[in-house]
Amino acid sequence: MNASTKRRSLWLLLTPMLLWIGLLFVLPHLKLFYLSFISRRGGEFTFANYLYFFQSPLYRKIFLRTAVFSILVTALTLLISFPLAFIITKVAGKRLKMMLLLAVILPYWVSELIQAFTWMVLFRESGVLSYLLQMLGITHHNIEFLYHDTTIAVGLVYTSLLFMTIPIMNSLDTLDDSLVEAAYDLGGNFWSTLREIIIPHAAPGIMVGSIMVFMLNLGNYVTVTLLGGKNSLWLTEIIYNQFIIRFNQNKGSAFSVILLTFSVIFVWIMLKITKQDLSEAM
């Protein structure tokens, strides 16, 4: 096969993906970007849509809440996923490995919506968890677990687990066990080995997982609205309101661009802080 044929078949194979990205991602986002700088009534160029967002204390508050919450959930997911990924790749035997892996993947066989509804069945005041606690004699009255921020966090961590665990497993897989043994031989303890050997090796996986989980949570709508109850206002709901309730595509677009920009900046900062390269991390 000569070089030109090779290049041509490469392009051919890329065509579906390029069409997909171009038509369904780049084009709509360009339109979104354009709309966000247009005034709704007059149709002229304006920054008003953005100013409106940043001048509203309410929207700033919701934005901050969404951002902080997403970061927190990402950290929590990492805390749970890392040991899990380590056990699956390094510690567990074949059988246990299979079972754990299945346990992580299984919930994704049903949609996020159904997951949220099952959480509601478990957590509601007259639900399974409340009933169990009473049966065990821990409490004597019904307890409501739903409609708290904690419930949202639990739900979000749960829906994110897979996206953190798999990339970390991927990078841990290539970690040579003898390196860990060598670390111990040279007088390292559990913590120093973890810090000096394991985490640096898994860093790309951690980074990829964190980016994915963070983005997923930032843009979540279903879990947050269903589990959150009366105090949950997520940025996505505000964007939905702009588009659907107020018929204001321009402000809606501006808000979407703000959300997008924030996540890009956040990812960039994270990569800088951890001294990772995007190409390396991916």
Partner 1 sequence: MKRHFWILAVVVLALALALAACGKSAPTQAPSETSAPSATEAPQAKTGGVLRILTWEGYAPEELVEKFVKETGIKVEITYIGDNNELIAKMAATKGVGFDLVSPTLNYVATAQDQFGIYQPIDLSKVNKDLFIPAYWDSILKNSEYEGKPYALPFVWGTTAMVVNLEKAPDAGQSYLDLCDPKYKGRVSYRAKYDTLYMFAYALGYDPAEAVKSEDEYRKVMNAVRDKLIECKPVVRTYWDSRQQLEDLLKNDEVWVATSWDAIAWTLMKEQPDKFKYVVPKEGAVGWFDTFAISAGAENVDAAYKWINFIMQPENAAVIINQTGYQTASQGAVELASPEMAKIVAETLPPEKMATIKWYFPLPPYAQDIQADVLEQVKAAESNK
Task: Report the residue number, 12 or 102, with the smaller CB distance to partner 1.
Answer: 12
The DSSP code for 245 is: I
In DSSP terms, 38 is beta-bridged to 45
C-beta of 224: minimal distance to partner 1 in Å?
A: 12
Task: Report the residue number, 46 or 170, with the smaller CB distance to partner 1.
Answer: 46
Number of C-beta neighbours around residue 252 at 10 A: 23
Provide φ and ψ at 41, rounded to 5°: -85, -60
Burial 266-281 (b: 16+ CB within 10 A, else e): bbeebbeeeebeeeeb
C-beta of 184: minimal distance to partner 1 in Å?
A: 50
CA distance 259 to 56: 16
Task: Report the residue number, 50 or 240, with the smaller CB distance to partner 1.
Answer: 240
Report residue 186 as tokens.
């040279």
C-beta of 16: minimal distance to partner 1 in Å?
A: 8
Q: Are 125 and 143 in contact (CB under 8 A)?
A: yes
Q: Are 224 and 152 in contact (CB under 8 A)?
A: yes
Q: Which stretch binds partner 1 (CB under 8 A): 13-21, 24-32, 80-88, 210-218?
A: 13-21
Report residue 241 as tokens.
């309101």
Q: How many residues form the binding site for partner 1 (CB under 8 A)?
A: 30
For position 147 contacting partner 1 by CB under 8 A, the verdict is yes
For position 146 contacting partner 1 by CB under 8 A, the verdict is yes
The DSSP code for 188 is: -
C-beta of 109: minimal distance to partner 1 in Å?
A: 23
For position 27 contacting partner 1 by CB under 8 A, the verdict is no
For position 19 contacting partner 1 by CB under 8 A, the verdict is yes
Number of C-beta neighbours around residue 255 at 10 A: 26
Task: Report the residue number, 157 or 233, with the smaller CB distance to partner 1.
Answer: 233
Q: Which stretch binds partner 1 (CB under 8 A): 30-38, 141-149, 166-174, 198-206?
A: 141-149
Ranges within 223-262 binding partner 1 (CB under 8 A): 225, 229-233, 238, 241, 243-248
The DSSP code for 107 is: G
Task: Report the residue number, 9 or 189, with the smaller CB distance to partner 1.
Answer: 9
CA distances from 109 to 168, 199, 217 (A): 21, 30, 19
Binding site for partner 1 (CB under 8 A): 5, 8-9, 12, 15-16, 19, 58, 61-62, 124-126, 144, 146-147, 225, 229-233, 238, 241, 243-248
